[in-house]
Structure 1
């Protein structure tokens, strides 16, 4: 891996290395957060409200829509009703409403629009109010049309840059460990090079991606001009994204456009405090606000779900491969502590990886064993996850064998009878299950045959600079994480209750309550 060799950044980072980091850096400060309607954004917001009481204001950028014409209304309907806030609501609905009234300010805007769609004067007023920007927004669809992924994960950052430049405020940008693409081995906390096609680097050590962005935009314009049918155009945009991503050394459009976004920030924020925080595969919370809280079905869960429903019983991957999973609350803690460092330290470019594979490696074999054990012995505890006890084991096979088997299965005649016997299902069901396996493999098989481990030495060094009390309140270390306990007593129960039984949980959370009083700051222009 090639490290950034900007002299000014190296000097400022070494200056702060021995300094303590304290959460009181947030005292009297105002934070601007994007992506609060998403999974990680909610966990960050909840932790700030509950555990960083001295923060002055939290500005939330939320896109309005036809149903909720202001950011405040959408927050009340889609965010405040989330079960993530149940612990805060235990203090009382009136107290939660008062807390939101004191701390939160809402900005109705569109992340991908210039200046978020705000009038120039409103944007300037917003920039004058904030002391820290935390960018949690992302399009995490691995098969997103290229135009949408590029707009959200890359081009939106130009408005973020403009916002921070007004007062040179720090930025904590949430990226992903998988910006490292097809690179193998130990992946350090530094600038990730393309694994395949090379790109030019400037004198500061950053990759010059402006020509690449222009080239992608040109390809997008040509494609859109040549395909009039909307469905065909969307499919072509997805395929173009996958093609370009893999050409340069990334598995999917999400990770590719996130990498390009990192380079944009590094290039344009010279002399400013920029922290790039890269989580690995983010799953349910370990401790806070409750064990097992999760929203939606994440990377590992899609395969778990397919097995639980017996849609997929074999999958391409390396059983001994180390899969990097990180609980969401450890990610949120890392973001908040990195923000405290940026507020209290010298301007520098910092890269942290919030990961587990270096300290506490978890093999795919272990994950399978935990899931299959619960399926066999405790499936009745998972009303939504296991509709019935799975009858067949889950088998991880080499990729070449998986694809060979699929090819044989889709061919005619004799092979089909053999396949029916192996799968123990009617032909139509077996064919449907094969199709499910094929689709899942197309999206996720890269993550089930890992050839890398993500180093988090710098993040651990950051944690060591907290005092004992704050290190206990904001844990980031995975060294002592008991994976058996996490999967069998935390993650799978949380997946069943919060993600799959979300409607019931949300209704309980939203049952008669006083909604938080909302303060709208600025609205998107028409």
Structure 2
């Protein structure tokens, strides 16, 4: 028996075990006494970062959260509402006095000097030791000036603020694995910027001159090989980090996670912060709303939110160590699954199809396992119009006759208009290489590997998909996980499905029989 096992045997109280782990965590020890400044705290990932730091790093000195002001709510009211979110329920149980570690700073990336008061700016400059720039406008179709002001100029202001900080040890920019998505193999290195700052200023000026902003042609000329303004702006921001890191006296790191999805275990299993992007696709496919997929079986890059946060905290410590030991100022860390534990939409469909009967949803409209998957474009469009347009037309007709507002066809047309974007990201076949991040994980102590679990190589996609489904039921559909009504719904849909198959088979046999009489 090892020394650690003997110590664990002597500790009977689980709380004491937990405290022991924290005391022997290198990552927790790194954050002990640190003053952390975080932007983007109201977003999905931002909430997860704040929650994890407050829950597992209780001896952190202070967390400074940048929040915008609001005409409807005071800053104090916004903070109160912020911590009422369900994601902080576990934190409240384990560390009820956590708010003493939180200071809210009023500010805005769009305004000069980040909208900071002289007092708040002085607090940041004199106290902050770790800085996370996590805020970004992630919309693909937002005006160019909005995206560039937020993602590029906002990052520039954060870097300028970081240069003034007297105690800063590490600046981490949270980017995206798709900042240079014109490349199919994305490595942990800097790539050339698509534009300089003067181009950014000129584009903002041109976009704001007219009421509707840049035309489609002008925007495409600006972004070139990029599909939209978001990755274009993130790529420019990454290069700003590289430039500012050249003469800095502290570490700079860029963290590039792939597509962040529902949590695996922390703080709540299956918690999903929004219904955007992949979460909505998972939900619609599992409920049988999406009946046809155009998919080439290329691997996808999905990362649970808790893996993302845990990896972020781990690479923060590593970046500071690289700086102190090797004076390495600019580091890039990727986080993805495609090169170490790939999954496809077909695999995910099979996983969701195998959800236990009592966990099925009462809101399902068709069997999840009957979705058509094809890599043939014309076949997809045939099924798209047959299985999506016709049902949408029927539902809207029923709504119209019953005096209700039709809405399903408008959703169909909206999805159809964006099929090119769905195809681009769903069938991109990117390979996100995570060599440096894996080295960080491999160097983690057993305690840290447990407390900050983020190893994409050794977990089950089926387990994760089932946990994600339970989270969708609880937090999006507002259903109990164990649901007898869902089981009854499943059997009803099975009956309808097989009844239609029998009817189609009989019709086919009838037509064949008639044709045989005509021909012979």
TM (norm. structure 2) is 0.76
Secondary structure at 1:178's aligned position in 2?
coil
CA-CA distance at 1:389 after TM superposition: 4.0
Secondary structure at 1:90's aligned position in 2?
helix
Change (3 A) 1:403 1:22: closer
Distance in 2 (CA, whole Å) between partners of 1:250 and 1:481 is: 33
Distance in 2 (CA, whole Å) between partners of 1:158 and 1:145 is: 19
Residue 280 (1) aligns with residue 258 (2): yes
Which digits, 9 at most, give the CA deviation of each residue in 1:494-516, with x for residues without a partner? Answer: 122124439xxxxxxxxxxxxxx
The residue correspondences of 1:281-320 to structure 2 (distance < 5 A) are 281-308=259-286, 310-318=288-296, 320=297
Distance in 2 (CA, whole Å) between partners of 1:420 and 1:344 is: 55
Residue 382 (1) aligns with residue 385 (2): no
Counterpart of 1:351 in structure 2 is: 332
Choose the corresponding residue for 1:166, options 164, 169, 183: 164
Residue 371 (1) aligns with residue 352 (2): yes
Distance in 2 (CA, whole Å) between partners of 1:391 and 1:357 is: 24
Distance in 1 (CA, whole Å) between partners of 2:37 and 2:389 is: 55
CA-CA distance at 1:107 after TM superposition: 0.5
Distance in 1 (CA, whole Å) between partners of 2:477 and 2:69 is: 26
Is the CA contact (8 Å cut-off) linking 1:146 and 1:240 kept in structure 2? no
CA-CA distance at 1:447 after TM superposition: 1.8
Choose the corresponding residue for 1:31, options 32, 36, 39: 36
Distance in 2 (CA, whole Å) between partners of 1:137 and 1:344 is: 25
Choose the corresponding residue for 1:492, options 459, 469, 472: 469
Residue 323 (1) aligns with residue 313 (2): no
Residue 135 (1) aligns with residue 133 (2): yes
The residue correspondences of 1:328-477 to structure 2 (distance < 5 A) are 328-346=305-323, 347=327, 348-374=329-355, 378=357, 381-383=360-362, 386-390=363-367, 393-398=370-375, 400-401=377-378, 405=382, 419=386, 423=390, 426=393, 429=396, 431-432=409-410, 434-477=412-455
The residue correspondences of 1:255-274 to structure 2 (distance < 5 A) are 255-272=231-248, 273-274=251-252
TM (norm. structure 1) is 0.75
Secondary structure at 1:159's aligned position in 2?
helix
Larger radius of gyration between Structure 1 and Structure 2: 2
Between 1 and 2, higher relative CO (CA 8 Å, sep ≥ 6) is seen in: 1
Is the CA contact (8 Å cut-off) linking 1:142 and 1:443 kept in structure 2? no
Secondary structure at 1:214's aligned position in 2?
helix
Which digits, 9 at most, give the CA deviation of each residue in 1:306-359, with x for residues without a partner? Answer: 3355543223332x1101000000110111122223444415111011111111
Is the CA contact (8 Å cut-off) linking 2:159 and 2:244 kept in structure 1? yes
How well do the aligned residues superpose, as a CA RMSD in angstroms?
3.0
Distance in 1 (CA, whole Å) between partners of 2:65 and 2:93 is: 23
Counterpart of 1:219 in structure 2 is: 206
Is the CA contact (8 Å cut-off) linking 2:287 and 2:361 kept in structure 1? no
Is the CA contact (8 Å cut-off) linking 2:206 and 2:214 kept in structure 1? no
Distance in 2 (CA, whole Å) between partners of 1:403 and 1:167 is: 55
Change (3 A) 1:301 1:402: farther
Distance in 2 (CA, whole Å) between partners of 1:57 and 1:399 is: 55
Change (3 A) 1:441 1:335: same
CA-CA distance at 1:183 after TM superposition: 1.2
Aligned length: 436
Change (3 A) 1:286 1:241: farther
Which digits, 9 at most, give the CA deviation of each residue in 1:64-83, with x for residues without a partner? Answer: 2012221x321211x20111
- The gaps in structure 1 that reach 5 residues or longer are 1-19, 200-207, 228-232, 410-418, 503-526
Distance in 2 (CA, whole Å) between partners of 1:238 and 1:387 is: 41
Secondary structure at 2:413's aligned position in 1?
helix
CA-CA distance at 1:242 after TM superposition: 6.1
